[in-house]
Structure 1
Amino acid sequence: MPFARAIDAEIHYEDSGGGGPVLLLGHEFLMDRTMFASQIAALTPEFRLVSWDARGHGRTRDEGLPFTYWTCARDALTVLDHLGVERAVVGGISQGGIIALRTALLAPERVTALVLLTTEAHEPLPAELSNARRFLDKWYEDGPRPALAEHLARWLIGDDDWYRAVWVKRWLTRDPNATEVAAGAMLGRDAVLDRLSEIACPTLIVHPTHSGVPLAHARELAARLPDARYLEIEGARQTVNMTHPVAVNNAIRQFLREPAVSRVTSRPRTGEIPLRREP
């Protein structure tokens, strides 16, 4: 089982392999790397997809201590270091996209482009904080947890019975402490709106019309990033890569084939200096 070792965690990842440009993908809150199965099936072997489990999720091993999404951004770089990948397209959905933005801010020389699904750069709104706290309080009560898990699955995924059953089963066996700590990272995140102008790399933003991330936040993200492409998918849910995989896969494929992106994601020959995008 592949792990990249951070100072205080072992980060689990899956690597499709191949010689194409690397796309590193981070998952939604309370989910894991397996949510990208459709992207891996559709985009390889043209591209090399690496999906990874954040702290408190999937098979990643950590000490159960509080963390921030800046810590997770360093974990993403740890995965690239472990694989010997100098530069990559970095992306993700919701939580994973929030981490990807911070990865680009921490190490712009490592990030050739961004793929952001259902992502925002804002801090939590008061309504998000209060709704999440009520949900977590009920989650720890005896009795209603299966119904809450089903409600969460329908909100995230929609009407796909198979997907909902898979994730409900996983959530009901989660470590409650891991859920609480992971929620702390989501609900304690800082805003990076004022730093978006620092991110010069090409960016693809795909946003569903039905999600917990307001459309206004996604559109502002696109407006503030210097080199962004924006796609809104009507009727899609929070997990847009699962509810509308064909549209998402086509958008990612087209983006990664753009000359502005493919030029800087091409693997350099031995002895060559990797191309760098000038700010």
Structure 2
Amino acid sequence: MPLFKHEGIDFNYEIQGAGIPFLFLHGLGDNLKFAFETFNNDEKIQLISLDQRGHGKSGHDSRKLSYDRLANDALALMDYLGIQHFYVGGLSMGAGVAVNLAVHKTNRVLGLILLRSSATNEPMKKEVIEWFSTVSKYLPMKNGTQLFEKDPIFPSIKDTYPKAIDTFKRYFEDDASVNYNKKFIDIPSDSPIKSKSELTNLTIPTLILANNYDVIHPIEYSLFYARNIENASYYELTPKTVDAEKHKLEIDTYINTFIIRSSKN
């Protein structure tokens, strides 16, 4: 398990392959396994990921978690690896970290990949913030799962977006989520950028992938980036619940093609 230290915190990371460096970031409550399970990189691409602060096998501190801090962590990894220029992308929270990094370090980022964004220049929807806040409250409690199921908000989550229930229940089995549950309050209330004007100078090649199925990752968030990033290409994915195999194949094809083609320009 390779580790690097940043701001006194040990971060777990992993690298697969060699070639064009691509840093792919997981979402809230997940870990670096997401990157390697979601995307099969072409032999010309080097896939890099890390357990972000407060996730997986990486540590955390008492400071409030934010997109700014997570982006600084991701950049610190690339500095540690001696990689000056790279592609960056992510899913959900990871997409927010990626766009934050690209906006603030445009000279380092070769291309940007946003997969099912969960926030824009505004935080998540109030309804979704409340969902995560409720889960956070029960995570450190004994019999937390059962208490969560008895909370008055549980039926509304189940009716609005049943798939979210499975995701939230997995958090109770994840040590990093239980031990650092405050991230489920901090991140949903933060935004990757403060204004869409921050995207004005973002002229790097950008790939945006989304689908019109997900309450936590509304398609309008992805369309926001597609409209406001000058050199953006937007594609809709087959939802995983409709055809998981096709969903994964589309991700592999779009990302590999995007990185290889844009790196030649």
TM > 0.5 = yes
Partners of 2:24 and 2:48 within 8 A in 1: yes
Provide the residue aligned with 1:123 in structure 2: 122
Structure 2 residue 237 is matched with structure 1 residue 233: yes
Alpha-carbon displacement from aligned partner over 1:13-37 (angstroms, at most 9, x marks no partner): 101141x100001101000010122
Partners of 2:238 and 2:247 within 8 A in 1: no
Partners of 2:129 and 2:188 within 8 A in 1: no
After TM superposition, the structure 1 = structure 2 runs for residues 15-34 of structure 1, keeping only pairs within 5 Å, are 15-18=15-18, 20-34=19-33
Give 1:227's aligned amino acid: N
Alpha-carbon displacement from aligned partner over 1:29-61 (angstroms, at most 9, x marks no partner): 000010122355x21422000011111101112
Give 1:88's aligned amino acid: F
Provide the residue aligned with 1:93 in structure 2: 91
Provide the residue aligned with 1:59 in structure 2: 57
Taking structure 1 as the reference length, what is the TM-score of the superposition? 0.78
Structure 2 residue 191 is matched with structure 1 residue 193: no
Give 1:155's aligned amino acid: K
Secondary structure at the counterpart of residue 91 of structure 1: strand
Give 1:205's aligned amino acid: I
Partners of 2:136 and 2:184 within 8 A in 1: no
Alpha-carbon displacement from aligned partner over 1:66-117 (angstroms, at most 9, x marks no partner): 2211011111111111111010001110111100011011211100000110
1:132: how far off? 2.4
Give 1:127's aligned amino acid: E
Provide the residue aligned with 1:270 in structure 2: none
Structure 2 residue 210 is matched with structure 1 residue 207: yes
State the distance in 1 between where 2:57 and 2:257 align: 31
Among residues 223, 226, 231, which one is paired with 1:222 in the alignment?
226
Q: CA RMSD in A?
A: 3.1
Question: CA, structure 1 residues 109+97, in 2 after alignment: closer, same or farther (shift >3 Å)?
Answer: same
Question: CA, structure 1 residues 248+175, in 2 after alignment: closer, same or farther (shift >3 Å)?
Answer: closer
Partners of 1:33 and 1:53 within 8 A in 2: yes
Give 2:188's aligned amino acid: M
After TM superposition, the structure 1 = structure 2 runs for residues 55-204 of structure 1, keeping only pairs within 5 Å, are 55-119=53-117, 120-124=119-123, 125-143=125-143, 145=145, 155=163, 168=170, 171-174=173-176, 176-189=178-191, 191-204=194-207
State the distance in 2 between where 1:144 and 1:79 align: 34
Partners of 1:114 and 1:202 within 8 A in 2: yes
State the distance in 1 between where 2:94 and 2:245 align: 15
Q: Is there any run of 5+ residues in structure 1 with no aligned partner, and where?
A: 159-163, 265-279
Question: CA, structure 1 residues 138+91, in 2 after alignment: closer, same or farther (shift >3 Å)?
Answer: same
Taking structure 2 as the reference length, what is the TM-score of the superposition? 0.82
1:235: how far off? 2.7
State the distance in 2 between where 1:195 and 1:242 align: 36
Question: CA, structure 1 residues 101+187, in 2 after alignment: closer, same or farther (shift >3 Å)?
Answer: same
Q: Which moved more, 1:175-184 or 1:202-211?
A: 175-184
**Percent identity of paired positions between Structure 1 and Structure 2:** 21
Secondary structure at the counterpart of residue 29 of structure 1: coil
State the distance in 2 between where 1:113 and 1:95 align: 18
Partners of 1:56 and 1:64 within 8 A in 2: no
Give 2:204's aligned amino acid: C
Question: CA, structure 1 residues 199+146, in 2 after alignment: closer, same or farther (shift >3 Å)?
Answer: farther
1:192: how far off? 4.0
Alpha-carbon displacement from aligned partner over 1:242-266 (angstroms, at most 9, x marks no partner): 98211101110111122xx2136xx
Q: Is there any run of 5+ residues in structure 2 with no aligned partner, and where?
A: 150-156
Alpha-carbon displacement from aligned partner over 1:143-169 (angstroms, at most 9, x marks no partner): 3516969x99962598xxxxx8xx838
Provide the residue aligned with 2:259 in structure 1: 256
Partners of 2:134 and 2:148 within 8 A in 1: no
Q: More helix by proportion, 1 or 2?
A: 1
Question: CA, structure 1 residues 117+4, in 2 after alignment: closer, same or farther (shift >3 Å)?
Answer: same
Question: CA, structure 1 residues 169+123, in 2 after alignment: closer, same or farther (shift >3 Å)?
Answer: closer
Partners of 2:22 and 2:48 within 8 A in 1: yes
